[in-house]
Structure 1
Amino acid sequence: MATNNPYAAYQTNTVTTSTPGELTLMLYNGCLKFIQQGKMELAKGNLEQKNIAIQKAQAIVTELMLTLDTSYDVSKNMLVLYEFVNSRLIDGNIQNDPAMFEEAAGIITEFRDTWKQVIQINRSKQYSNVSEI
């Protein structure tokens, strides 16, 4: 099925050609985007749109939780933090508390920034190995 929307085609191509690490980074960025949208909608008093945005952020956190390989201790610790983030999003959504959204966003930002560094380190190692050939 061909698409007439170049932006949609670009998005599809970006997702289908990204590495698993890049996809995880996209999930973190998407989660942060939806948390920010939820906070903005709450500030405007648009509770329905706030709810939709926060539920999208929760869905991303759930996906991150489901894809963890819990055979590693670090993954088990990450799972606990993801569960905490999810609980902050749920409680913030119920109580209309932007501080809870901020708390969740802070943790996701830490994960995102760390993940970004890991990707950059792996790329530099990959490219240094290529130059040795």
Structure 2
Amino acid sequence: MYAKNAYNQYKQNSVNFASKDQLLLMLLDGAVKFVKIGRQALADKDYAKCNQNLKKTQDIFYELMATLDLSQAGEWGPKLLSVYKFIIDGLVQANIKKSLQMLDSVIPLIEEVKATWNEAYKISKHMR
């Protein structure tokens, strides 16, 4: 019991004291985790669990869209916004159609977005 409470406190502090960059990476870690849980649930025909986790993934990308500052993003901002929209659309369609194939085409995109932001974070950290 104590270990669980200590871990929960650690997680809470991680979020409370994380930089904006670190929060973005945490969100993307969550997106990858939830989409993979959703995929497994779909494969297991546990549609409620699939729906729940795909919606969590969508919510993360909606949050990323809402917090993207297009006035600061330059030319890559609108492109990134369209990638986020494409991912959300793919998640919605895979969820509606209960299609593993459609989901399998979206998962690598989510992983690529995560990898790209991880790389950008590493580069920006070295530039500071």
Equivalent residue, structure 2, for 1:131: none
Equivalent residue, structure 2, for 1:86: 88
Unaligned runs of 5+ in 1: 127-133
Q: Deviations over 1:53-107 (max 9, x none)?
A: 1110010010011111122221111111111100000000001112222222211
Structure with bigger gyration radius: 1
Equivalent residue, structure 2, for 1:8: 8
- Does residue 122 (structure 1) correspond to residue 128 (structure 2)? The answer is no
Equivalent residue, structure 2, for 1:23: 23
Runs of 4+ in 1 over 6 A off after TM superposition: none
Letter in 2 for 1:120: K
Q: What aligned pairs does 1:93-108 form with structure 2 within 5 A after superposition? A: 93-108=95-110
Q: Distance in 2 between matches of 1:121 and 1:81?
A: 22
Q: 3-state DSSP class of the match of 1:45?
A: coil
Q: Distance in 2 between matches of 1:100 and 1:14?
A: 34
**Identical pairs, percent:** 31
Superposed CA RMSD: 1.3
Q: Distance in 2 between matches of 1:99 and 1:124?
A: 39
Q: What aligned pairs does 1:52-71 form with structure 2 within 5 A after superposition? A: 52-71=52-71
The normalised TM-score by structure 2 is 0.90
Letter in 2 for 1:55: K
Equivalent residue, structure 2, for 1:74: 76
In the alignment of these two chains, the number of paired residues is 123
